[in-house]
């Protein structure tokens, strides 16, 4: 039997052949059809292949963007200028002692290349001094690490409530603020993290929104790349 199309086989002195199927049945031993006679790839298959290609390219693009972001942020420098964002660095013995305590405690929880701790005094109100501390290091997952540090802060100051993400500003990364309690009552606490630095600050006597805005200004004056 050399012809695979059963419905087209001639029958001598017999009834008309019966169509067994709407399409010809092909025997498994038949040689493959010439290229010109092969059925084209179905539309569904083309869509699947195209989708797989797009997803693959998107994944490669995401990896590229992520690698570029790490390279752009990893070499970060933090300074504590004498004046920044309308505040003045407090170099009194008490302020330096407080700043060193915060810096040392922070550095004990995370391995840093360089660390710092500073108190900035508000010339308009001494009760609104800002305590800021942190350091530089390579962070692969800034958001996760910042959350971990807020968790460690809870162990020291008590519960942080209302923690939420705020605009990180021009320097990027992630920035979050919440509220905690101290001897003087509730106050705002904020932190930023990117692939090269992590810093936290406490803002007694200021609202959450004012603290977030001031934190961005302090970052602009403290961080360079």
CATH number of 75-224: 3.40.1000
Phi (first) and psi of residue 125, to 5 degrees: -160, 110
User: What is the pLDDT of the chain when averaged over all its residues?
Assistant: 79
Contact 135, 105 (CB under 8 A): no
Q: Is 222 exposed, middle or buried (0-12, 13-18, 19+ CB in 10 A)?
A: buried
Compare 203 and 12 and report the one with higher pLDDT. Answer: 203
Instruction: Say if residue 154's pLDDT is above 90.
Output: no
**How many Cβ atoms from other residues are within 10 Å of residue 179's Cβ?**
17
State if pTM tops 0.75: no
Stretch 46-54: mean pLDDT: 51
Paired tokens of 29:
């031993």
The pLDDT of residue 109 is 79
* Domain regions of the chain by residue span: 6-72, 75-224
Which of 92-96's residues contact partners 24+ apart within 8 Å by CB, and which partners?
Answer: 95/119, 95/121, 95/129
Contact 190, 201 (CB under 8 A): yes
Q: How far apart (Å, rounded) are the C-alpha atoms in residues 13 and 24?
A: 23
Residue 176: band (very low, low, confident or very high) from pLDDT cuts 50, 70, 90: very high
Residue 54: band (very low, low, confident or very high) from pLDDT cuts 50, 70, 90: very low
Rg (CA), the chain: 34
Q: How far apart (Å, rounded) are the C-alpha atoms in residues 71 and 172?
A: 13
Q: How far apart (Å, rounded) are the C-alpha atoms in residues 79 and 151?
A: 26
Compare 91 and 55 and report the one with higher pLDDT. Answer: 91
Paired tokens of 79:
């300074």
The pLDDT of residue 47 is 57
Instruction: Say if residue 11's pLDDT is above 70.
Output: no
Instruction: Say if residue 202's pLDDT is above 80.
Output: yes
Residue 8: band (very low, low, confident or very high) from pLDDT cuts 50, 70, 90: very low
Stretch 117-122: mean pLDDT: 96
Instruction: Say if residue 189's pLDDT is above 50.
Output: yes
Q: How far apart (Å, rounded) are the C-alpha atoms in residues 168 and 165?
A: 8
Q: Which pLDDT tens digit goes with each residue over 63-92? A: 465 677 677 667 899 999 999 999 999 999
Residue 48: band (very low, low, confident or very high) from pLDDT cuts 50, 70, 90: low
């Amino acid at each position: 039997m050399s012809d695979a199309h059963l419905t087209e086989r001639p029958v001598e002195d017999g009834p008309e052949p019966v169509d067994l199927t709407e399409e010809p049945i092909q025997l498994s031993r038949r040689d493959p059809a010439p290229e010109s006679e092969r059925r084209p790839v179905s539309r569904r298959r083309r869509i699947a292949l195209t989708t797989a290609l797009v997803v693959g390219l998107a994944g490669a693009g995401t990896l590229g963007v992520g690698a570029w972001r790490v390279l752009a942020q990893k070499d970060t420098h933090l300074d504590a200028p004498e004046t920044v964002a309308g505040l003045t660095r407090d170099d009194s013995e008490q302020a330096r002692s407080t700043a060193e305590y915060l810096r040392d405690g922070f550095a004990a929880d995370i391995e840093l290349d360089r660390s710092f701790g500073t108190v900035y005094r508000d010339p308009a109100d001494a009760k609104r001094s800002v305590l800021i501390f942190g350091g530089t290091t390579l962070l692969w997952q800034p958001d996760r690490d910042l959350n971990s540090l807020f968790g460690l802060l809870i162990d020291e100051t008590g519960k942080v409530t209302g923690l939420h993400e705020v605009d990180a500003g021009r320097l990027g990364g992630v920035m979050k603020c919440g509220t905690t309690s101290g001897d003087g009552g509730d106050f705002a606490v904020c932190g930023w993290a990117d692939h090269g630095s992590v810093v936290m600050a406490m803002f007694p006597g200021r609202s959450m929104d004012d603290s977030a805005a001031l934190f961005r200004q302090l970052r602009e004056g403290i961080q360079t790349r």
